[in-house]
Amino acid sequence: MSPEALREIARNMVETVPQASALGFKLHSIEPSRGSILTPWREDLVGDPDTGVIAGGVITALLDHACGLATISMATDSKTPFSTATLDLRIDYMRAATPRADIIAEAHCYKLTRSVAFVRAHAYDGDPADPIATAQAAFILKRGPVA
Amino acid sequence: MSEAAERLETFLGRVPYVRFLGMHAKLAGDEMTATLPFAPHLVGNTVMPALHGGVLGAFMEMTALAQLSVISPPSSRVPKTIDIAIEYLRPGKAQVTYARADVRKVGRQIANVHVEAWQEARSKPVAFLRGHFLLRGA
């Protein structure tokens, strides 16, 4: 798939899916096997009103979406992309996100079989070496034309 | 209203993200059921259509935190999530979703919570969550 075609599919997945657009996701980077998404801090997404820290649920959705993005980037042909569904997702929260900082989630699909993708991801808000959370996920692939 | 129900209402009313999801919860004795009405902004797959996997995970995590608020001392801070593991069994359809949390262990610092989410029938779960949460005082 050409870089332009991949970028188009990726942008579509990150910015037009209703939940992704409701959370304000933006495509940050895309290449075969890797993708990253940026999401801005927002007051209505706060999970701890005492500190203004964004809800874990937002990080969960962000990491899940980034893992799905890395998975679809493995499609070799833009005419036969595949859709995916999360099979399992494990997230470790290392520290609270910094209030009012953008968060980036980067995902790497490190193994693809005929029907399953294995993906790792991490989320950070400044220094990539100081992650907010890391994730490990498996996705089931549904090959064939996506309606 | 019982003290437990008041703590639950306080938690649900104070957390902005609870309103973003649109979830609510009811206590029957010490059993809490959380409800997530369907809303278009929760969709992750418009073709099926299906709820976003992250939404189901987030809903179950908030259900765990809400259940912990019920059993925590008054004015405790929201617990911090340490880790969660989510298993997806079925697609979440474009309809109401329910969840119940089972607090398996509460120690001095850590709570272990299992959550189950379902739609038409509890015997057909859509997803499970297991999590550890760090408890914090006032």
Inform me whether the C-beta atom of residue A125 falls under 8 Å from chain B C-beta atoms: no
For the whole model, what pTM was predicted? 0.94
Model confidence band, residue B29 (pLDDT cutoffs 50, 70, 90): confident
Q: B60 Cβ partners below 8 Å, 6+ apart? A: B86, B99, B101, B115, B117, B127, B128, B129
Domains assigned to chain B: 3-134 (3.10.129.10)
Report the mean per-residue pLDDT for chain B: 94
Best A44, A86, A90, A119 member to test B by mutation, with max B CBs in 10 Å, is A86
Best A93, A132, A141 member to test B by mutation, with max B CBs in 10 Å, is A93
pLDDT of residue B138: 60
User: Which ipTM did the prediction report?
Assistant: 0.93
Measured between beta carbons, the chain B residues lying within 8 angstroms of A54 are 17
pLDDT in tens, B66-122: 999 998 887 778 899 999 999 999 999 999 999 999 999 999 999 999 999 999 999
Return the bridge partners of A65, or none.
Answer: none
Q: A137 Cβ partners below 8 Å, 6+ apart? A: A63, A64, A67, A86, A87, A88, A89, A90, A118, A119, A120, A121
Q: How far is B59 from chain A (nearest CA, A)?
A: 7
Enumerate the domain spans of chain A.
3-142
Report the mean per-residue pLDDT for chain A: 92
> Residue B39 in contact with residue B92, Cβ under 8 Å?
no
pLDDT at A52 over 60: yes
A34-39 and A26-31 beta bridge pairing: antiparallel
For residues A63 and B68, what is the distance between their CA atoms, to the nearest angstrom? 24
> Residue B115 in contact with residue B132, Cβ under 8 Å?
no
Inform me whether the C-beta atom of residue B125 falls under 8 Å from chain A C-beta atoms: no
CATH of domain A3-142: 3.10.129.10
Return the bridge partners of B114, or none.
Answer: B102, B130
pLDDT in tens, A55-84: 999 999 999 999 999 999 998 776 666 788
pLDDT in tens, A6-22: 999 999 999 999 999 99
